[in-house]
Amino acid sequence: MFFRLTFSSIRHYAFRFSLAVLGLAISVASLVYFLSFGEGARRLIRRSVEDFNLQLLVLPPAQSLTVQPLLPRSLADSIRSLGVGKVYSILRLPYTAGFPPRAMGVVFGRDFSSSLRFISRYEVVRGRDLRDSTVREAVVGEALAKALGWDVGDTLTVGTGRYIVVGVVKAGSPMVDNAVIVPLNLLMEDMGTDRLLAVAVAPPPGKTEEVLSLLKREFPGYTIQTSEELVKLAKSFVALGDAIRFGLSSIALFVTAVLLFAIMAITVQERRWEFAVLRALGATRWFIFRLILAQALTVSFVGWLFGASLGWGLAEVTSRVMVEKFGLDLVEVSPSILILALLVSLGVGLVGSLFPALSAVRMDVREGLGR
């Protein structure tokens, strides 16, 4: 009987509840869509750290952290002389092609003093790898090459230098697959700088803490962070962005809660006689209370179902466009986002129906019957 009454009332007031479902669907879709960017960013951070062969990063002093290269080039040699593992000089800059941007990547300087390819191992799929630090040649990531139509033999400009593409590489890392890699010393020359952005260190297995202590003791004027600390810092920025995106979605959720409250309040007022009859037939106050809440939560669930589907669809379309245009997949709808959206949707239903339900419970039976 309880469920029959619940769904019969929803059918009877179908137009009103349809408005509530529509409002919830739009709100939930915006929530799922906006939060999918933060989830995609977290996935990119995780994959980047897993793909890159480093455990420690030496940066400028904390008070002067910047995207500008500030470290002296000799620092890498000083660290390398300590025998702390593999050491890589890092210099990079954003690379944007076309206006509006047809692709976005990053230019890396390859440190030929290292025994490994750059920081991340990669596979040459066409052409060959860099082999001479004195010749302006470049290898480009497969995703960036596809987006811009580049191939072996093409030329590109970085800073004041023109480089010939000698190879196309693939690493499975979004950073490298969207990168232009050129000799470090020539990149510094073409950028007009003798400074590095950072120095990465890959200590021998099991020696990370020992090397960290040594570097902090030998280079007290620099910021030295572990991969875990870098991930936490990056995720804190993503979390801040999530909070902002959630705040934007909350505006729509608040409007939907007010709409649902108005619909429930009007509906409860019109059904006073029905509730009074149920009470006269033996229904308890708790039964009436649960009945109204069940109707609102059912509407909330249906709104979440449509909204989650819409938000997921928009995220998928955006993801495909970004992969196709820029080679970067920065959007992901995870189960945690869908669960959060469900809880928020049910919370809106609960808040919007609580006071109308309480007013129905407090109603005098005689007054409801018109006596």
Residues 84 and 214 grouped into a single domain: yes
For position 353, what pLDDT does the model report? 82
Residues 64 and 41 grouped into a single domain: no
Categorize the per-residue pLDDT at 284 as very low, low, confident or very high, splitting at 50, 70 and 90: confident
Residues 314 and 291 grouped into a single domain: yes
Beta bridge partners of 202: 86
List, as one string, the DSSP characters of 81-99. Answer: TTT-SEEEEE-EEEEEETT
Residues 153 and 273 grouped into a single domain: no
Contact between 315 and 33 under an 8 Å Cβ cutoff? The reply is: yes
Q: Is the predicted pLDDT of residue 50 greater than 70, yes or no?
A: no
List, as one string, the DSSP characters of 12-80. Answer: HTHHHHHHHHHHHHHHHHHHHHHHHHHHHHHHHHHHHHHHS--SEEEES-GGG--SS--EETHHHHHHH
Categorize the per-residue pLDDT at 1 as very low, low, confident or very high, splitting at 50, 70 and 90: very low
For position 169, what pLDDT does the model report? 93
- C-alpha pair distances (Å), 291 with each of 19, 186, 278, 297, 356: 20, 74, 11, 10, 12
Q: CA-CA-CA-CA torsion for 210, 211, 212, 217, nearest 10 degrees?
A: 100
Of 190, 207, 225, the residue that ends a domain is: 225
pLDDT in tens, 52-67: 656 788 888 865 445 6
Residues 103 and 187 grouped into a single domain: yes
Categorize the per-residue pLDDT at 124 as very low, low, confident or very high, splitting at 50, 70 and 90: very high
Categorize the per-residue pLDDT at 127 as very low, low, confident or very high, splitting at 50, 70 and 90: very high
For position 6, what pLDDT does the model report? 52
Q: If DSSP codes are grouped into helix, strand and coil, which group holds residue 172?
A: coil
Residues 353 and 249 grouped into a single domain: yes
pLDDT in tens, 326-364: 666 778 888 888 998 899 888 888 888 888 878 777 766
Domain holding 253, by residue range, is: 2-46+234-368
Of 225, 258, 282, the residue that ends a domain is: 225
Q: Is the predicted pLDDT of residue 105 greater than 90, yes or no?
A: no
Contact between 201 and 194 under an 8 Å Cβ cutoff? The reply is: no
Categorize the per-residue pLDDT at 3 as very low, low, confident or very high, splitting at 50, 70 and 90: very low
Count of domains forming the chain: 2
Residues 247 and 137 grouped into a single domain: no
Residues 92 and 200 grouped into a single domain: yes
For position 208, what pLDDT does the model report? 85
Nearest CA among 344, 354, 343 for reference residue 293: 354
Q: Is the predicted pLDDT of residue 31 greater than 90, yes or no?
A: no
Categorize the per-residue pLDDT at 163 as very low, low, confident or very high, splitting at 50, 70 and 90: very high
Residues 257 and 359 grouped into a single domain: yes
Please tell me the least confidently modeled range out of 132-141, 142-151, 168-177.
168-177
Residues 112 and 191 grouped into a single domain: yes
Looking up tokens 């106050």 gives 285
Residues 60 and 198 grouped into a single domain: yes
Residues 77 and 207 grouped into a single domain: yes
Of 225, 256, 289, the residue that ends a domain is: 225
Q: Which helix (H) or strand (E) holds 169?
A: strand 161-170
For position 151, what pLDDT does the model report? 94
